[in-house]
Chain A
Amino acid sequence: MNDTPKKPKKVLNKSKVKIPMREQDPKNRIMNFDEVPLGYNADEAHQEALRCIDCKNKPCVAGCPVGIDIPAFLTLVGQKDFEGALKKIKEKNFLPAICGRVCPQEDQCEMVCTLNKPNKGREPGGIGRVERFLGDYAVEHNLDIMPDIAPPTGKTVAVIGSGPAGLTAASDMIQKGHDVTVFEALHKPGGVLFYGIPQFRLPKEILLREISGLEKMGVKFVMNYPVGKAESLDSIRERFDVVFIATGAGLPWFLGIPGENLNGVYSANEFLTRVNLMGGYKFPDGSDTPVKKIKRIAVIGAGNTAMDSARTAKRLRPEVVYLVYRRSRLEMPARVEEIHHAEQEGIDFNLLHSPIEIIDDGKGAVGAILCQEMELGEPDDSGRRRPVPIEGKVREFAVDTVVIAIGQGPNPLLSADCPELERDDRKGTIVINDLMQTSFENVFAGGDIVTGGATVILAMGQGRVAADAMHRYLMTGDPSDPEGEHI
């Protein structure tokens, strides 16, 4: 980037570790839904940015699924030019306050950072923390930093689903000069960012503020509009020049064990939707959607959604929150930071336990969950050691609530209404080619509806790739035509 000023080398911060981020104390935070990590202040962000050595090959940029010019924005933060840094980020990512919070940087930009040398006790640059600071700085100072918008092309784009993939595609397409309308089935925008990710990880105010930035750029949002039901995909294809399907992984999986339909058994989606989207933790003052008073709860699973469910449950102040997982700690799919937070908050981890039955309390509700104790055997197809039962060892947890957080599949609502759209019969995902194009020429798809369930940032990355292909398609009729880039 030739517009990036040179970093003054003499003020480099040579600290081996990241500037620590202040957090709410675990004892206090389990009593509220406020955010846990408090974020950097300007000084801390400045100091952390100065740790970047501005190395030559910039592995972090390649490590970022949306390709943010990370050294460039860190350099600007190092010069305390926060607005300039924001502008730099927004060239590639319109949602820094969100991504700074929910991206797994430890597996992406920070993992490949040149500074990252764990054996020498050296930590990578705190890229996510600085990004979050900038996003919050914009919110706090009411800055509307808009990227440049290309002159109108006269082309129309429909984006179905306002989750991470949809928002990214919408933001890219509006910048390329197209007329963009986003359709959302629920009453609030954001998809999983709203219904799934808890308030204490991503405050709804921050989310809505970043989304309102898209509105200011001209993106139109239509709420309460489940495409496939409210209007057929065929009709949307007629009305718009190109369509992007980003309907997410909204189909919860259950275990298929006896007792799963007892009262008090929830999918993680239902539990989190009641608490997050519907604000059930404020029931009855401030929300009309009830959440039961929980005494003892078991959350099944060990992914990020399981951690979110367990930590959400903790804030409803039960006596105990068990986390039950059939494999060992090493195989837990959640981010290390989330596992750490859950432990700090006193979630009771029960690894190598596999639920076999949910037991009726005699009144049609959950009384207990019976688990088979497991040990690790040979590796399975996923490369993880397969858990095998230890004969004769079962354990019963007395609980009144069970949350099943073992994953989810693609949302079937749209594809059920349009059988001609090619799908993977086994997984239910929409089939795309390497340009994210579906079996319909002017329909593209991305995010969890094609992957079956991944992370926020991967969905955003797919939104970006799809937007590029859709732009080429709109301008030349061919999504792979390199000429389309320059129009």
Chain B
Amino acid sequence: MGNKIVYVKELAPLTKLFEIEVAHIAERGKAGQFIILRVNDEGERIPLTIANRNPAKGTITLVFQEVGKTTEMLGLLDVGDEIHDLAGPLGKATEIPSGKTVVCVGGGIGNAVVWPQVQALKAAGNKVIAILGARTKELLILEEEITALADVTIITTDDGSYGRKGMVTHALVDLIEEGEKIDEVITIGPVVMMKFVCKATEPYGIPTQASLNPLMVDGTGMCGACRVTVDGKTRFACVEGPEFNGHLVDFDELITRLAYYQPEEKSSLEAYHRCHMDETTDNPEHGE
């Protein structure tokens, strides 16, 4: 198997960071690309964006939120454990300009993807402004890492518990209105957030890339589960994306498609929880 976990950190409640030994991806992966993993031989294939990589050490970093059965099982793994299957780097890398002013707008778990983008953008000599959003202070991740790299970092929380109160879009529009000359915006986070970021930049004509997160099965262009409509055309996010011109993306279709398996995902998680509770009742010593 390989794919040994060498470092684990809890970034926020239910949000974990894994550093994993997988040398070829550490060497070849680029900002914006993703991997597909399975946690066991009955497991589903889920895509996760590469958050960081260390080619010298041969490791990649993944950040995930425990929202379903697969991510919960993944969260049970620890240092020394191996991930059953891990394939990548998949998808196209973020197109990195040079000598421009770029704003990276992240939300929630999406900030994990902002991290490598800011790194790559800085390395190419861009001015980078990061706008990082979270529902509340304790859910904000990777603030320190991103602040250390970006020229300016703006934090927003929905409830005002930290940084500016409000949405990332408000901070973005204020920045534009204040006269900051922005060449490009890159956004990654919840689909609704990305939709509104794109709506916000459109009137100003600022090119905006959105990193889409549709459902995937194989992730190699073979099945088309990840199809999205961009400029009226069907595109496969896994091989032609995941980043697209956000002003041309049909976000409403993406939201509908993402919701299709929610009932099954919910029942699968509930069954897993029930099964887990039985185990703990049967073996009190084995409980968590």
Binding site for B on A (CB under 8 A): 185-187, 195, 223-226, 229-232, 250-252, 254, 260-261, 263-264, 266-267, 269-270, 273-274, 277-279, 282-290, 292, 364-365, 411-413, 416
Contacts and interface: CB of A to CB of B under 8 A. Distances in A.
Interface string B228-262: 11000010000100000000000001001101110
Contact of A252 (B223, B257, B265): B223
B253 A413 contact: no
B268 A283 contact: yes
Contacts of B217: 270, 273-274, 278, 289
Nearest to A280: B44
8 contacts: A187-B85, A230-B87, A250-B222, A261-B227, A270-B217, A273-B218, A364-B253, A413-B239
Nearest to A289: B44
Given A270-B223, A278-B44, A261 B264 contact: no
A174 B78 CA distance: 39
A274 B229 CA distance: 22
A273 B267 CA distance: 21
B113 interface: no
A338 to B, nearest CB: 22
A411 B236 CA distance: 13
A411 B222 CA distance: 7
B16 interface: no
Nearest to B260: A263
Contact of A365 (B25, B260, B264): B260
A263 B256 contact: yes
B268 A284 contact: yes
Interface string B28-68: 10000000001000111100000000000000000000000
B11 interface: no
A449 B25 CA distance: 25
A99 to B, nearest CB: 24
A229 B69 CA distance: 28
B224 A226 contact: no
Nearest to B252: A364
B28 A231 contact: yes
B225 interface: yes
Nearest first, the 7 A-B pairs at minimum CB distance are: A290-B264, A364-B256, A270-B223, A224-B87, A250-B222, A263-B260, A187-B85
B270 to A, nearest CB: 9
B31 to A, nearest CB: 15
A269 B225 CA distance: 9
A87 to B, nearest CB: 33
A225 B43 CA distance: 18
B154 to A, nearest CB: 34
Chain B CB within 10 Å, residue with most, of A230, A231, A263: A230
Main secondary structure of the interface of A (DSSP, over half): loop
B239 A226 contact: no
Contacts of A224: 85-87
Contacts of A411: 220-222
B90 interface: yes
Contacts of B86: 224
Contact of A230 (B25, B42, B256): B25
Chain A CB within 10 Å, residue with most, of B45, B69, B224: B224
A223 B217 CA distance: 16
B24 A231 contact: yes
Measured as residues with beta carbon below 8 angstroms from the partner, the interface class of chain B is 35 or more
A283 B85 CA distance: 19
Contact of A269 (B87, B224, B239, B256): B224
A260 B234 contact: yes
A225 B84 CA distance: 14
B260 A413 contact: no
B123 interface: no
A185 B220 CA distance: 8
B220 A413 contact: yes
A42 B227 CA distance: 49
B221 A229 contact: no
Given A250-B220, A269-B223, 5 more contacts: A225-B24, A250-B221, A269-B224, A273-B222, A292-B261
Nearest to B228: A261
B234 A254 contact: yes
B70 to A, nearest CB: 6
A190 to B, nearest CB: 14
Interface in B251-288: 253, 256-257, 259-261, 264-265, 267-268, 271
A263 B256 CA distance: 8
Nearest to B265: A290
Contact of B222 (A260, A269, A285, A288): A269
B133 interface: no
Contacts of B218: 185-186, 195, 273, 277
A261 B84 CA distance: 32
Contact of A251 (B44, B221, B259, B271): B221
B88 interface: yes
A412 B239 contact: yes
Nearest to B224: A267
A290 B286 CA distance: 29
Contacts of A279: 42
Contact of A289 (B45, B89, B220, B224): B45
Contact of B89 (A195, A229, A251, A254): A229
A278 B90 CA distance: 19
